[in-house]
Structure 1
Amino acid sequence: MYNNKGRYALMALFVFAAAACLFYDQIQLAALAGLFFAFVLWSHFKHSSVVLASKYFQKGDHESATRLLSEVPNPDRLARNRRGYYEFMKANIALKREEYDTAERHFQIASRFPLGGKNDKAFVMIHLANLALRKKDGERSRAYIARAKEMASTPKAQEIINKIEIEANRL
């Protein structure tokens, strides 16, 4: 749960520790430091700054969350459980900025990855249905609503789905 600079500093520390252990002929400690270095490097590519960005996102600090999400070197390399959250946060930030095409693309990608639970997936489908309504595409909106109905488990989600369904049927 570090940003890029923190991980780079930690990797440098482990390399320095491994070198010092090799200098003093402590092979096992050097191997342990190398293992820690490899773990931090692995977590850099598989988890990156997504968890830290989600903390800022939940607090409503979208600028910090955007900055941390931009540190992800390649989203395709993220672990499946991190990629869904990455795309979900990127989509919501784009939605707040009224960049609807970008938000739709990120929500569509997020729908293919695991999120917290079925209700979270239902909200992704609700957002996609709402964006389809914005484009006056009633057929796609109804398809997203049908998927959201299968996943929704809270009364709030059901209420939103019903409102979007009424609007979609008007088209």
Structure 2
Amino acid sequence: MYNKLGRFVLMGIFVLSALVSINYQQYQLAAISGLLFCFILWSHFKHSSVLLASKHFKNSDYDRAEKVLNEVDNPDRLAKSRRGFYEFMRANIALKREDFEKAEFHFQVASRFPLGGKNDKAYVLIHLANLALRKKEGERALAYVEKAKELATSSRALEIITNIENEAKKLAN
């Protein structure tokens, strides 16, 4: 759960440790340092700072969450389990800033990756349906609502789905 700079410092420490261990002919310690370096490097590409950003996001500190998310150089390299949360946080931050086009894009990408559970995926589809309603696209909103109905488990989500469905039907007719 380190930021980008922290991971680079840790990798540097492990490389330095491996070099010192080789200098003192402690090859087992050098191998362990090398493995730890490889693990941190792998985690840098596959997990990046998404967990740290989710901590700030959960505390409603969207500016810091966005700053940490900006450290992710290439989101395509993230593990599938992290990519969904990355896109979900990006979409919600864009939604808070009323950048609806960007929010819709990130919610659509997030809908393709696994999230916490079925209910979380249902909320992504609910957001997409809301954004479709905002654009006065009733048919698209109804399609999102149908998919969300299958995934929703909480009564709150079902209530929101019902409200959106009523609005979308009015728009479609």
- Report the TM range for the smaller structure's normalisation: over 0.9
Matched ranges for 1:1-171 at <5 A = 1-171=1-171
Q: Alpha-carbon deviations, 1:91-142, whole Å to 9, x = none? A: 0000000000000000000000000000000000000000000000001000
Percentage of identical aligned residues: 64
For residue 28 of structure 1, report the CA deviation from its aligned partner.
Answer: 1.1
- Cα root mean square deviation, aligned: 0.4
Number of equivalences: 171
| Separation (CA, whole Å) in 2 of partners of 1:116 and 1:29 | 38
- Cα displacement (A) at 1:160: 0.4
Per the TM alignment, residue 73 of structure 1 is displaced from its structure 2 partner at its CA by: 1.4
Instruction: Report how far residue 50 of structure 1 moved.
Output: 0.1
TM-score (norm 2): 0.98
Q: Which amino acid aligns with 1:158?
A: L
Q: Segments of 4+ in structure 1 off by > 6 A?
A: none
Structure 2 residues without counterparts, runs of 5 or longer: none
Question: Which consecutive unaligned segments of at least 5 residues does structure 1 have?
Answer: none
Distance of 2:136 and 2:152 partners within structure 1: 23
CA separation in 2, counterparts of 1:32 and 1:71?
28
SS at match of 2:112: coil
The CA distance in 1 between the partners of 2:154 and 2:133, in whole Å, is: 22
